């Protein structure tokens, strides 16, 4: 049985959804049709990314999850972080981050883990590979999601099941993003790294 979320969490969630609707975002895409997946959000250039992702997954009927340092899941924030979809990971444990998240996929019936592969808004467009290894080891597809803050648009693509051929799978993902955001130079680094 899923625990009821706290009053504070419900209020914050409703405020963020109202903000998403008020800003007039236009979303493209259909529900991925899978119970478990890793959602890649790119480019990660704004603090508004969280609001867009929350509103978009609400439209899709998904409950998003995210990874956070275990220290953020202590009182008084512990319940709020879990209510908002947080998964605590301990970077100091012997088990690595990928193994910890894969274990979480194993015990849940549904999990849409949202990851920003660039890591931070200040990235030069280089992607970290952790999201790929999580999806591959958990046996779940990668669902690419894109955002364009200037045009107030975003959306998701079809699920891509990792084959184990990292370069080939990343080429498919890169092609999706280049098609959706040909104006975004942050994807140049991703595309060029695959050509090397």
Q: Report domain extents, the chain.
A: 27-195
**How confident is the model at residue 161, as a pLDDT?**
98
Give 74-96 pLDDT, tens digit per residue: 888 888 888 888 899 987 766 68
Give the pairing of strands 36-42 and 64-69: unpaired
**How confident is the model at residue 94, as a pLDDT?**
66
Instruction: Pick the more confident residue, 135 or 53.
Output: 135
Instruction: State yes or no: pLDDT of 44 exceeds 60.
Output: yes
Q: What is the CA radius of gyration of the chain?
A: 16
Q: How many Cα atoms are found within 13 Å in the side-chain-facing hemisphere of 5?
A: 16
Instruction: State yes or no: pLDDT of 38 exceeds 80.
Output: yes
Across residues 44-66, what is the average pLDDT? Answer: 80
Across residues 106-130, what is the average pLDDT? Answer: 85
Q: What is the pTM of this model?
A: 0.87
**Distance between CA atoms of residues 37 and 114, nearest Å:** 9
pLDDT band, very low/low/confident/very high, at 107 (cuts 50, 70, 90)? very high
Mean pLDDT (the chain) is 86
**Distance between CA atoms of residues 68 and 24, nearest Å:** 29
């Amino acid at each position: 049985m899923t625990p009821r979320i706290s009053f504070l969490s419900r209020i914050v969630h409703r405020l963020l959804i109202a903000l998403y609707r008020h800003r007039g975002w236009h979303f493209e895409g259909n529900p991925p049709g899978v119970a478990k997946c890793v959602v890649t959000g790119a480019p990660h250039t704004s603090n508004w990314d969280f609001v867009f992702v929350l509103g978009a997954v609400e439209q899709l009927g998904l409950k998003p999850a995210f990874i956070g340092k275990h220290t953020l899941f202590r009182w008084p924030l512990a319940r709020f972080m879990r209510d908002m979809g947080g998964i605590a990971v301990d970077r100091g444990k012997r088990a690595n981050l990928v193994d910890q998240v894969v274990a979480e996929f194993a015990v849940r019936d549904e999990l849409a883990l949202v990851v920003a592969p660039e890591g931070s808004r200040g990235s030069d467009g280089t992607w970290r590979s952790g999201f790929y290894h999580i999806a591959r080891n958990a046996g779940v597809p990668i669902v690419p999601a894109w955002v364009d803050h200037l045009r107030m648009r975003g959306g998701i693509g079809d699920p891509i099941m990792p084959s184990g051929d990292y370069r080939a799978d990343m080429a498919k993902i890169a092609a999706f993003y280049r098609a959706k955001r040909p104006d975004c130079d942050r994807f140049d680094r991703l595309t060029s790294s695959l050509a090397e």
